[in-house]
Amino acid sequence: MTSPTTTPAVTQIPITKPYLGEEEIAAVAEAIRSGWVAQGPMVAKFERLLAERLGVEHVVATSNCTTSLHIAMICAGVGAGDEVIVPSFTFIATANAVLYAGARPVFVDIDPRTYNMDPTKVEAAITPRTKAIVPVDQIGLAAELDPILEIAQRHGLRVIEDAAPALGATYRGRPIGSISPVTCFSFHPRKSITTGEGGAITTNDAEIAARARVLRSHGASVSDLARHNASHVTIEEYDELGYNYRMSDIHAALGTVQLTRLDEILAKRQHMAERYNRLIAQIPGVSTPSAPDYAPHTYQSYCVRLDPEQCAPRDEVMERMLQLGIATRRGVMAIHEEPYYVKRFGTVSLPVTEEATRQTILLPLFYEMTEEQQDRVVEALHTTVRA
């Protein structure tokens, strides 16, 4: 007989689940039958549809958002000896992309309400070595972009927006992806829509888009699709170091169908999140997400905050929830506290970030989630947060 202390309950309510159906299966099958299973016409179609959706001139699809960020760093001229200002309260890929380019991430603190980069902290972090600023639209909520863009313009810095979790978000009525000079998205299965794995760079700068297309495909001057469609023999050249960061047509086929579901998915997530807000408001010590006037929340994840004076420790709550068959995740990591970054750069003090990462927790939220499942999550939370 196995001990109950070593065999946790089977998770019955996942933290998230992609919404996929027969149309996605048919689209992927069509891509396979076409013979184009690498980057080809379906990637071009996905890029066009996404550009139309966001009202942006250029979309460059990639293998994931991390590779999008890396390419964006290179296009921004980020390199050895440079510094890039980033929030620590984000997924580690944001800072890793800075390191890939040979630069050093400089962490700044966040707004305690939105969990996004605090614009008032940015200017003090600028040094003669600063090359770029990377605001993150955390958990699907647009960062406060106008002051960040103004600071960047005044200091001659590049802005690379990490919108990994924020497809469909808006800032002051404008679609995220069409505002910053360069924006990077993710289509990982935890995001609102998915291509399985995938990412994209959006920009209105034709030169950046052209270079990004070259960099994502080993630095080749001509793409496979262009060579295939040429009426004469075309031989590509390699003028700079490139990478294999391409999206496949199989992934893009999935994405083209998912794009048609985006509004439906966002509406359902909004409905479920608002229902969470009403139910969780009755639990002492638990705060629901904040959304400022300038940006409606898309709820890529549903993040609550536990008051340590009234609630059990966050990790203890997560363990109790798991034993009740409910998956949760810590809110967001603090990159500057991760072992690799401590060993490489030493300790950094970011008090707002440090409090947030210890007190926040993500609850299950996905398109096919039922109200009965949501009620069960709230009931479990009500029980497990008691200190």
Catalytic residues: 191
370 CB-near residues (< 8 Å, 6+ apart): none
Residue 94 burial by Cβ neighbours in a 10 Å radius (0-12, 13-18, 19+): buried
First to last CA, the chain: 31
Strand partners, 171: 174
Determine the Cα–Cα distance for residues 73 and 93; give it in Å rounded to an integer. 13
Other C-beta atoms within 10 Å of 221: how many? 15
H/E stretch holding 88 reads: none
DSSP codes of every residue in 107-172: EE-B-TTT-SB-GGGTGGG--TTEEEE--B-GGG----HHHHHHHHHHHT-EEEEE-TT-TT-EET
H/E stretch holding 287 reads: strand 286-287
Q: Does residue 218 come out as left (phi exceeding 0), alpha (psi in the -120 to 50 range) or beta?
A: left
Using alpha carbons only, give the angle 99, 104, 106 rounded to the nearest 5 degrees.
125
